[in-house]
Amino acid sequence: MRKKNKALFMGLVLFVLGGLTLFIERITDTGFSGMIGRLYCGVTYMQVSGQPGDGMCGFNMDMVVGMASFLLIVAGLLLLLIGGVKAIIKRMRK
């Protein structure tokens, strides 16, 4: 039975997930990050804070979604690289 390369599979999944998130964010014109902000903050989404120093919940949520997507893409690329090296080493041993 053949062993599966989990690093290649997980790398591809993370890369596609991050790219798809950025693509949806771009198409909806920050509507996707607004939806995530509303889910995270609830009724206090983009409302003025009640106490000084609290800040507004959901402010710059598009930047948070962009950074998370970028990190998913980078992690996916690293796992793809690791999985590719493992596959090359496995072929060389045969």
Does any domain span residue 31? yes
Does 87 fall in a domain?
Answer: yes
**Which domain covers residue 47, as residue numbers?**
6-93
Q: What is the pLDDT of residue 38?
A: 87
Query: Rounded to the nearest 5 degrees, what angle is found at the Cα of 30, between the Cα atoms of 25 and 35?
Result: 90
Residue 31's contacts (CB-CB under 8 Å, 6 or more residues apart) are none
- Location of structure tokens 């890369």: 15
Q: Residue 45 domain-assigned?
A: yes
Task: Examine residue 10 and state whether it is found in any structural domain, yes or no.
Answer: yes
Residue 1 lies in a domain: no
Which pLDDT tens digit goes with each residue over 5-49?
898 999 999 999 999 999 999 999 888 888 888 888 887 787 776
- DSSP-based three-state secondary structure for 51: coil
Residue 13 lies in a domain: yes
In a domain? residue 69: yes
What's the half-sphere exposure (Cβ side, CA atoms, 13 Å) at 92? 6
Q: What is the total count of domains within the chain?
A: 1
What is 23-43 written as a DSSP string?
Answer: HHHHHTTSHHHHHHHHHHHGG
